[in-house]
Amino acid sequence: MSSARTATTPPSPAARAAHPVVRPYGDTTGDGMVQVSFTLPVPHDKRAEGAALQLAQKMGLDPALLVHAKAMGPDFTFFVVYGSVRHVVDLGAVQVVEREYPLLGTKEVNLAVRSRLRRKLVVVGATIGTDAHTVGIDAILNLKGIAGEKGLEHYRELRVVNLGSQVAVPDLVARARAERADAVLVSQVVTQRDAHLANTREMAAAFNESYPSGRRPLLVVGGPRFDEAMAADLGVDRVFGRGCTPGEVASYLVHALVPAPRGGAR
Instruction: Report, as residue numbers or ranges, the catalytic residues.
Output: 144
CA distance 191 to 161: 25
Q: Which of 77, 85, 131, 163 binds ligand B12 (CB under 6 A)?
A: 131
- Binds ligand B12 (CB under 6 A): choice among 21, 72, 103, 132: 132
Q: Is 237 in the site for ligand B12 (CB under 6 A)?
A: no
CA distance 102 to 98: 11
Query: How many residues does the structure list for the chain?
Result: 266
Task: Indicate the residue among 11 and 246 with the shorter CB distance to ligand B12.
Answer: 246
Closest among 192, 182, 199 to 250, alpha carbons compared: 182
Of 3-11, 27-35, 229-237, 241-249, the segment contacting ligand B12 by CB under 6 A is 241-249
Total binding residues for ligand B12 by CB under 6 A? 29
The region of 18-26, 94-102, 151-159, 184-192 touching ligand B12 under the rule CB under 6 A is 184-192
Asked if 224 interacts with ligand B12 (CB under 6 A), we say yes
Q: Are the beta carbons of 106 and 69 closer than 8 angstroms?
A: no
Does position 23 interact with ligand B12 (CB under 6 A)? The reply is no
Strand partners, 83: 34, 64
Q: CB under 8 Å to 30, separation ≥6 — which residues? A: 22, 23
191 is a site residue for ligand B12 (CB under 6 A): yes
SS3 content of the chain, % helix, strand, coil (to 5): 35, 25, 40
Minimum distance, C-beta of residue 112 to ligand B12, in the bound complex (Å): 19
Angle between helices 169-179 and 195-210 (to 10 degrees): 40
Instruction: Based on the shown chain and the rule CB under 6 A, indicate whether residue 4 belongs to the binding site for ligand B12.
Output: no
DSSP state of 118: -
Work out which of 84, 110, 187, 200 binds ligand B12, going by CB under 6 A: 187
Alpha carbon separation from 16 to 20, 92, 94 (Å, rounded):
8, 4, 9
x/- track of binding to ligand B12 for residues 143-182 (CB under 6 A): ---x------------------------------------
Q: What amino acid occupies position 48?
A: A
Q: How far is the CB of 141 from ligand B12 (least distance, A)?
A: 8
Q: Contact residues for ligand B12 (CB under 6 A)?
A: 130-137, 139-140, 146, 185-187, 189-192, 220-224, 240-244, 249
